[in-house]
A and B are shown apart, each in its own frame.
Chain A
């Protein structure tokens, strides 16, 4: 019994140490970072965070990221809801093939789509807009949303649908008034996943933007290559990118395990 907790704690330490080291570094001055290895900041400073939160070039990146991530999450969940209902309730011509085709999009490497996306969005004048990144991210988020939601919907007994129809509910009214509240947890978990996968994606977001919609993740890589020295600010920017994830995980903490299992246990 003791031995198994020992292993677990060892792993948790392994999991937390790198994050701790970044947080630690974000609170130090650059002299202290490059000077000596210290386990906690000797001269506690919030200057690194102040730099980011007062410079529009930095905090603009966070705003851009949040805008396209939110557009993407809302659109993905909105189109996935009716589709996953169809997959969980009906058989129709080519349903299995369609589902597989959707899944392949979750599994296609973004690098394959890099160049065509660039040309497609340039040709319809969407290059460097938030909506372009949001649409591009739907490529992998919509299939994922359908997959997760279908798992949750399959857990709701059909009798509920049938009773509602007998009671004279039309489909849209039944769907919005009765069905959506029933799978509230599933929608929350799905939104969480769409948010996360869009938030962490770099390759497409970087390629489809230049100035106006440049995401924070792209701004960070630029700092690495250009300045290369400002470790404190880099660490602080990293810490700030974890904040949304940490907030979201707090809200869905009771559903984490089930959510990661795509509602399929």
Chain B
């Protein structure tokens, strides 16, 4: 669609800009302010330049948290996206079975994050939880509060449970938008089921899958509440991801300077990744929309 060039459109955007500026730019400036100063008291501040940044960059605990975070996000994407596509392909297209499956599938998405943590906390316990008890019965020595591997896997399974439906719903919506004519053409050509997926469905899903990838990457990269409720970051540091570590520093220990420097680095990492995904999304946009 051709758009007209008109700078009066800024007037329409103004309320949003003011709102978001109030809740984003002012706080961000405060963070920048902290990151270059040492606050000794209410009126005593010393400019320290990049000292906090250097301190944070060399912090081994931060490196460990970043490593865990990257591994977690990678695992989340590697499992949720293929699983979500498979689910979308398996979903019935119409009828009551379709509505029922969609509503059941969407259920976990609508549960508050801390309740997700609570549900799995209960569900995984060896004494009162169904999953925990079943695993114990099967002879698996499972204990998410004591064993780091178990805790990490539980957080991962919990995230899969919580968010795979988002990918499935996105892919399902994408599949429904493919005109029937494409499938008819494929049938005439005698295309195999895999060929239909590879050359018709997957290219058509590209746009929505990029949205899904973007949302899942961002949200998994700043996961906080679910592991906080489930394990509190433990045992040890096994499930302490970046947000958790930052909150500990800022609110727990009140190390304002390092926490602020860390915040900025964290923000820049996300911004960079976001920019890459967004550029991909923009490039996918026109090609996707042209046939409609």
| Complex: A110 Cα to B12 Cα, angstroms | 27
Query: What's the least CB distance linking B266 to chain A, in Å?
Result: 6
Interface membership of A199, Cβ < 8 A:
yes
| Complex: A82 Cα to B16 Cα, angstroms | 9
Residues 94-119 of chain B, each 1 if its beta carbon lies under 8 Å from chain A, else 0? 00000101111111111111110011
| Complex: A201 Cα to B142 Cα, angstroms | 30
Are A98 and B13 within 8 A (Cβ)?
A: yes
A119 to chain B: closest residue by CB: B30
A192-249 residues with Cβ-Cβ distance < 8 A to B are 196, 199-203, 207, 217, 220-221, 224, 231, 234-235, 238, 241-242, 245-246, 248-249
**A residues apposed to B, CB below 8 Å:** 4-5, 7-8, 11-12, 14-19, 21-22, 25, 33-34, 37, 75, 78-80, 82-83, 85-87, 89-93, 95, 98, 100, 102-117, 119-120, 135-136, 138-139, 142-143, 146, 154, 158, 196, 199-203, 207, 217, 220-221, 224, 231, 234-235, 238, 241-242, 245-246, 248-250, 253, 256-258, 260-262, 264-265
Are A264 and B247 within 8 A (Cβ)?
A: no
Residues of B within 8 A of A89 (CB): 3-4, 9
Q: Given contacts A37-B128, A111-B243, A257-B169, is CB(A79)–CB(B15) below 8 Å?
A: yes
Residues of B within 8 A of A15 (CB): 104-105, 107-108, 161, 165
Q: Which of B23, B107, B110, B247 contacts A111 (CB 8 A)?
A: B247
Interface membership of B59, Cβ < 8 A:
no
Are A260 and B169 within 8 A (Cβ)?
A: yes
Are A109 and B270 within 8 A (Cβ)?
A: yes
| Complex: A103 Cα to B276 Cα, angstroms | 13
A interface, over-half SS: helix
Residues of B within 8 A of A112 (CB): 31, 246, 263, 266-267
Query: What's the least CB distance linking A191 to chain B, in Å?
Result: 14
Are B104 and A16 within 8 A (Cβ)?
A: yes
| Complex: A25 Cα to B106 Cα, angstroms | 22
Q: Which of B86, B108, B113, B259 contacts A7 (CB 8 A)?
A: B86
Are B123 and A18 within 8 A (Cβ)?
A: yes
Residues 2-25 of chain B, each 1 if its beta carbon lies under 8 Å from chain A, else 0? 011111111011011101101110
Interface membership of B213, Cβ < 8 A:
no
| Complex: A75 Cα to B243 Cα, angstroms | 28
Nearest first, the 7 A-B pairs at minimum CB distance are: A245-B110, A116-B27, A109-B222, A90-B9, A261-B173, A86-B12, A116-B30
Interface membership of B52, Cβ < 8 A:
no
Q: Which of B10, B91, B224, B267 contacts A203 (CB 8 A)?
A: B224
Residues 138-173 of chain B, each 1 if its beta carbon lies under 8 Å from chain A, else 0? 000000000000000000000001000110011011
Interface centre among B23, B207, B208, B243 (most CB of A within 10 A): B23
Interface centre among A86, A235, A250 (most CB of B within 10 A): A86
Interface membership of B133, Cβ < 8 A:
yes
Interface membership of B196, Cβ < 8 A:
no
Number of residues of chain B lying within 8 A (CB) of chain A: 94
Q: What are some 8 contacts across the A-B interface (CB < 8 A)?
A: A7-B86, A17-B131, A37-B128, A100-B278, A199-B112, A202-B225, A203-B247, A234-B118
A243 to chain B: closest residue by CB: B110
Q: Given contacts A234-B118, A245-B110, is CB(A142)–CB(B5) below 8 Å?
A: no
Residues of A within 8 A of B107 (CB): 15-16, 19, 242, 246, 249
A102 to chain B: closest residue by CB: B20
Query: What's the least CB distance linking B132 to chain A, in Å?
Result: 10
Q: Given contacts A8-B90, A203-B224, A241-B111, is CB(A114)–CB(B247) below 8 Å?
A: yes
Interface centre among B122, B123, B243 (most CB of A within 10 A): B122
Residues of A within 8 A of B111 (CB): 19, 200, 241-242, 245
| Complex: A264 Cα to B161 Cα, angstroms | 25
Are A8 and B91 within 8 A (Cβ)?
A: yes
Interface centre among B8, B24, B101, B208 (most CB of A within 10 A): B24
Interface membership of B218, Cβ < 8 A:
yes
Are A79 and B16 within 8 A (Cβ)?
A: yes
Q: Given contacts A92-B7, A112-B266, A249-B103, is CB(A11)–CB(B87) below 8 Å?
A: yes
Query: What's the least CB distance linking A133 to chain B, in Å?
Result: 11
Are A258 and B114 within 8 A (Cβ)?
A: no
Interface membership of B28, Cβ < 8 A:
yes
Residues of A within 8 A of B242 (CB): 109, 111
Are B1 and A238 within 8 A (Cβ)?
A: no
Are A257 and B102 within 8 A (Cβ)?
A: yes
Q: Which of B122, B128, B133, B274 contacts A103 (CB 8 A)?
A: B274
Query: What's the least CB distance linking B292 to chain A, in Å?
Result: 9
| Complex: A4 Cα to B26 Cα, angstroms | 52
B217-236 residues with Cβ-Cβ distance < 8 A to A are 218, 221-222, 224-225, 229
| Complex: A246 Cα to B103 Cα, angstroms | 9
Query: What's the least CB distance linking A9 to chain B, in Å?
Result: 9
Are B267 and A257 within 8 A (Cβ)?
A: no
